[in-house]
């Protein structure tokens, strides 16, 4: 008899399904081209929901989401039996939330936040790559995106304050 309690590779079926759906950003990470960019687009939608919160609640939500991302990413690595596979994009979703901290949800801010986050996530200036390599499991998967989000947030806040917004 088929049951939701049945174990698959040491995981409950419902647990494994949840991890796969969350890790792939509702399937966006399964995109054959640029899965990280597709995951970041899901991050934009999440930001538009979170941006309605007052900043302390936004910050708390981002922290909680980031912790969830660490857990889900670690579990997904075990399920996929691969270190940081490209289909795991919950880390990009979390990193984009950090990018947009204290930034108003205008179209230009979201656009530049997206561009800056993707640039830092792809280029990985010091110590971003170090976070990815040195931290174990989900901490390494998500850590580099959080640091990329911090860099992008600083740049975006400077742009908003002094240049174009």
In a domain, 100, yes or no: yes
Summarize pLDDT for 58-116 with one digit per residue, the tens.
999 999 999 999 999 999 999 999 988 999 999 999 999 999 999 999 999 999 999 99
Question: Residue 35 in contact with residue 89, Cβ under 8 Å?
Answer: yes
The total number of structural domains in the chain stands at 1
Q: Which two tokens mark 27?
A: 């399937």
> Residue 118 belongs to what domain range?
7-162
Q: What count of other Cβ atoms lies within 10 Å of the Cβ of residue 79? A: 19
Summarize pLDDT for 16-66 with one digit per residue, the tens.
999 999 999 999 999 999 999 999 999 999 999 999 999 999 999 999 999
Q: How far apart are CA 111 and CA 132, in angstroms?
A: 26
CA proximity to 94, closest of 54, 115, 64:
64
Give the global pTM: 0.89
In a domain, 2, yes or no: no
In a domain, 67, yes or no: yes
In a domain, 1, yes or no: no
Summarize pLDDT for 129-155 with one digit per residue, the tens.
887 778 878 899 999 999 999 999 999
Q: What count of other Cβ atoms lies within 10 Å of the Cβ of residue 77? A: 21
């Amino acid at each position: 008899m088929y049951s939701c309690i049945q174990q698959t590779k040491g995981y409950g079926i419902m647990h494994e399904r949840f991890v796969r759906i969350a890790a792939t950003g509702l399937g966006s990470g399964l995109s054959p081209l640029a899965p990280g960019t597709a995951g970041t687009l899901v991050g934009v939608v999440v930001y538009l929901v979170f941006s309605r919160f007052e900043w302390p609640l936004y910050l708390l939500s981002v922290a909680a989401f980031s912790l969830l991302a660490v857990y889900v990413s670690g579990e997904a690595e075990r399920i996929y039996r691969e270190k940081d596979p490209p289909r795991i994009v919950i880390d990009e979703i979390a990193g984009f939330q950090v990018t947009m901290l204290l930034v108003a949800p205008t179209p230009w801010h979201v656009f530049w936040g997206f561009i800056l986050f993707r640039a830092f996530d792809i280029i990985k200036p010091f110590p971003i790559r170090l976070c990815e390599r040195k931290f174990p499991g989900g901490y390494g998967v998500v850590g580099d995106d959080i640091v990329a989000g911090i860099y992008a947030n600083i740049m975006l806040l400077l742009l908003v304050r002094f240049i174009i917004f």
